[in-house]
Structure formats: structure tokens, C-alpha cells
Amino acid sequence: MEKLKSSHLKTLWISIILSVGFVGGVLAIIFGATKGITFLLVIGIIATVLGFYGSPILWIKYGEQFSYIAVLDCIVSDNLLDIDSIATSLGKMPQEVLRIVNYLVTKRYLKGYYVENGKLKPIENEVEDVVVTHKCPNCGATIDTSGQYAVCEYCGVKLKLDKRKR
């Protein structure tokens, strides 16, 4: 939970910096152009472009992370392990909760669980420190995991990994 909250806070600060940079960049362009200060003009253009394109993306990511935190809180604090129960508790669709849970497992914000038949199940005898790289049989993407189960972050296929290949 702390890793996700840290990421959430970092996203907030970067979003604020890019938003302020957008406004400051416009001012720097104006002053750089009118006063003939090329360096200020270039810095203003860079800050404006980064703020214009980057800040909306990061603000959206920041907003999405509230859902991730809410789902993770239901799992960790409320001990809800059924996707439908989590969805009902949060007023979300089960498909959305399942997508979020798969994201949390893939990004290692939620460790020690896998999803099977709409329920979270604890992984027994998981070795936390050993990360093994596998290839997705569906799309060929690289999947890094230390557990027995994994979800491909590109195509969403769920994999039960062979213990002998670990």
C-alpha cells in the first residue's frame, strides 16, 4: 500500500510542476521574445510543450490512482477477496475491479495473490525475492514475476507458471 501511495504522491507533484511549468513557459516565451533573450525563449518553449502535453496525462493518471488505492484498501484493510464484493463495496463494475486487481498484481502493488474464478486467492510458498522472466505465449511480451501466477500487462492473458522452469 505504501508503494502505491508513494507513486500517487509523486504523480501529484510532477503534475503540479508541469502545470505550473506550462503557465511559466508561456510567460517565458513572451518575455524571451520581446526582450530578445534566446535562452529564456527556448526554456519557455520546452516548459510550455511539456506542460501542455504532459500535465493532462499525469492528472488523469493521478485520478486513476484513487481507484487503485480504493481497491487495494478493500483487499488489504477490509479483507475482501471476491471481485464482486469489492465492486459492490466501491460502486464499480466487476470488470473494472478485475482490471484494477490485475494491474495491482502486475505492478507488484498487491503481492501474494492471484485471481481465479472472480476471487483473489493467496499464493502459497511464493518466493518474494526471486524474479523470473517469462515470455507471454499470446503476444510474446516479456513478463517478470516472482510468483506462480502472472498477468501479461500488454494483452491481459493470465498465466499459471510452471514451477519446474523457475
Range of the domain at 73: 2-113
Torsion of CA 143, 81, 76, 71, to 10 degrees: 70
Distance CA 114, CA 101 (A): 9
Percent of the chain with pLDDT over 70: 93
128 and 106 in a common domain: no
Statement: the pTM of the whole predicted model exceeds 0.85:
no
pLDDT digits (tens, 9 = 90+) for 86-100: 999 999 999 999 999
Confirm if 21 and 47 have CB atoms less than 8 A apart: yes
Confirm if 148 and 164 have CB atoms less than 8 A apart: no
pLDDT digits (tens, 9 = 90+) for 54-72: 999 999 999 999 999 999 9
Instruction: Evaluate whether residue 101 is within a structural domain.
Output: yes
Grid coordinates representing 40 are 529564456
Instruction: Evaluate whether residue 118 is within a structural domain.
Output: no
